[in-house]
Amino acid sequence: MTLVSIRDIHKRFGSLEVLKGVDFDVQEGEVVCLLGRSGSGKSTLLRCINLLEKPDSGEIRVFGEDILNTKDVNAYRAKVGMCFQQFNLFSNMNVLHNCTVPQQRVLKRSRAEAEEKARYYLQKVGMQDFLQADVRMISGGQKQRVAIARALCMDPKLMLFDEPTSALDPEMVGEVLNVMKQLAEDGLTMVVVTHEMGFARNVADRIVFMDDGVIVEDCPPSEFFENPTKEVTRQFLRHYLEN
Amino acid sequence: MGFWQNVLKIVQDYWPNLLMACRTTLLVSLLGTACGFLIGLLIGGLRAIRLDFTASKASRILKRIFDAFAGLYITIFRGTPMMVQAVFIYYALLNIIHWSNIQAAVFVISVNTGAYMAEIIRSGIQAVDNGQIEAARSLGMSNAQTLKEVVLPQAIRNAFPAIGNELIVNIKDSSVLMIISISELMFSARSIAGTTFRFTEVYFIEACIYLFLTSVAALLLNWVEKRVNGSGLSLPQSDTDPTNMKLSRTAEQKGGNRDYDARQHS
Ligand SMILES: Nc1ncnc2c1ncn2[C@@H]1O[C@H](COP(=O)(O)OP(=O)(O)OP(=O)(O)O)[C@@H](O)[C@H]1O
Ligand SMILES: [Mg+2]
């Protein structure tokens, strides 16, 4: 089943056209990695999916719903989880409350229900021993795992990740990627912007490669990494092999 | 008789008056700061809202109108002396609502403080990490929920030193309210000086009382601030430190005030 279906979206910031007609589909249960150089429009595309940005034109259907004309943006956003590069945990709340408050406010869950959910997902990401911890005091990898748990607590049907490991020290990248890999194995639908080529190669079902506001490749990882057809893709991969 | 003996004598003779005056000063400044804080929270909070594309057209228009009025209010009350505000408002409304001068005093100090608080709260809000606001929205929290759960708690924590400083400023600046004859410290010092003709001694006593009140307030605020921040995090040094007390609000906030500039740009 098609979960996300994007047709010909355009987005400009002032005079800069960032998305120049993007078509993009995601099937249920799929893990799609979105790759591309810095500034190619990956974040903007991702942010359009949960309406943090509004495209200037085009159509976005998610769960069959025309979300650009949805009546209740907040109810829609609750069904789409998002993880950010900078974690963005609420610094006025401890780990547990980061996970429970959104559930209570948005989904109107009871406190007990919200806590049960939070404990379950914090356990899943290995943060069950930090329920009362101040989110400003834990490590980057721990922060990102809490952010993932917070998003999962809303029972999203789709998860978006925008470079979830880019702000982490190298030794913490693994712990976050392992959690994401676990989620992928559980069958969660995920769109992941990343520079972790290992993750893209081993975990993704499909690679979507963007350049200068358009999608230039959309294929399985094996094809993308072994037989790239376009010159820009080869250039991009060469850049990663060199480093 | 020497200076200190005169001081002692005046304190002995007039301590009930001085005590009552202290009470009035504290009442007016505490109540005024509290009401001013609530006004500031409301106006600063609403002013800081940035409506995104999901907001309706009607709310956009309302916001515009509100911003214009709020801007006018802040400009007027920060741009005129509180003493002038006090006489003007007291006499202008006297015939309409027949209020007592103490009610007028609390009202004036509240709306005056509200104008400063609105800007303090607004810059406190602007200092809140935008990423956290986006995260809240991405979880489906509404604008109002985001404000209440994420933005305001952090904004108040950010702004706490400045909010506390308003209390200290009000303890001192309530002295100008003697212009509408409320018997606060300045007013009773003047009348005691008028009967004893011991000007230096009386005003010396008055100064000591102000210094005592502001120092106690500063100590309490520092203590509360530590509670508010919790968990021993290092946050910016408090403005309410007694050694760092500002001489007057106007001197401190007019010159290089960034809010003031920001408002003119927006
Ligand atoms: N809110 C905005 N206002 C103005 N310009 C923006 C805004 N957001 C993004 N841009 C610009 O749009 C372009 C594409 O940005 P985008 O964040 O989508 O790229 P990206 O592929 O995610 O890059 P990166 O790998 O650096 O995150 C960039 O040149 C960026 O500066
Ligand atoms: Mg990006």
Nearest Cα neighbor of A80 from A154, A183, A2 is A154
Ligand 1 atom at minimal distance to the Cα of residue A46: 18
pLDDT in tens, A88-140: 999 999 999 999 999 999 999 999 999 999 999 999 999 999 999 999 999 99
B255, amino acid identity: G
Task: Please give the backbone phi and psi of residue A72, each rounded to the nearest 5 degrees, phi first.
Answer: -120, 90
Beta strands across the sheet bearing A16-27: A16-27, A2-13, A57-62, A65-66
Ligand minimally distant from the alpha carbon of residue A40: 1
3.40.50.11060, 1.10.10.10, 1.10.3720.10, 1.20.1740.10: which CATH number matches B3-235?
1.10.3720.10
The β-bridge partners of A33 are A192, A207
- Which residues in chain A have Cβ-Cβ distances shorter than 8 Å to B157? 92
Q: In angstroms, rounded to a whole number, what is the distance separating the alpha carbons of residues A134 and A149? A: 16
The β-bridge partners of A17 are A12
pLDDT in tens, B159-196: 999 999 999 999 999 999 989 988 888 989 999 999 99
Confidence at residue B254, expressed as pLDDT on a 0 to 100 scale? 34
User: Encoding tokens for residue B123?
Assistant: 């810059």
Question: So what's the ipTM on this one?
Answer: 0.93
Q: In angstroms, rounded to a whole number, what is the distance separating the alpha carbons of residues B98 and B92? A: 10
A38 Cβ closer than 6 Å to some ligand 1 atom: yes
pTM of the model: 0.83
Nearest Cα neighbor of B191 from B11, B5, B19, B14 is B14
A165 Cβ closer than 6 Å to some ligand 1 atom: no
Check whether B232 has a pLDDT greater than 60: no
Would you kindly state where each structural domain of chain B is located, as residue ranges?
Answer: 3-235, 241-266
Distance from CA of B266 to the nearest CA of A (A): 18
Q: In angstroms, rounded to a whole number, what is the distance separating the alpha carbons of residues A169 and B4? A: 67
pLDDT in tens, A58-91: 999 999 999 999 889 999 999 999 999 999 999 9
Q: Which residue of B has its CA nearest to A150?
A: B139
Q: In angstroms, rounded to a whole number, what is the distance separating the alpha carbons of residues A236 and A51? A: 29
Nearest Cα neighbor of A192 from A23, A41, A35 is A35
Task: Please give the backbone phi and psi of residue A18, each rounded to the nearest 5 degrees, phi first.
Answer: -95, -40
A227, amino acid identity: N
Alpha helix positions (H), chain A: 42-49, 73-78, 95-106, 111-124, 140-152, 170-185, 197-203, 221-226, 231-242
3-state helix, strand, coil in chain A (%, to 5): 40, 25, 30
Q: Strand pairing of A206-211 and A214-219?
A: antiparallel
Confidence at residue B135, expressed as pLDDT on a 0 to 100 scale? 96
Contact assignment for A80 to B134 by CB distance below 8 Å: no
Name A109's Cβ contacts closer than 8 Å, sequence gap at least 6: A103, A117
Contact assignment for A102 to B131 by CB distance below 8 Å: no
Nearest Cα neighbor of B207 from B191, B192, B185 is B185
A131, amino acid identity: L
User: Encoding tokens for residue B6?
Assistant: 């005169």
> Which residues lie near ion ligand 2 (Cβ < 5 Å)?
A 43
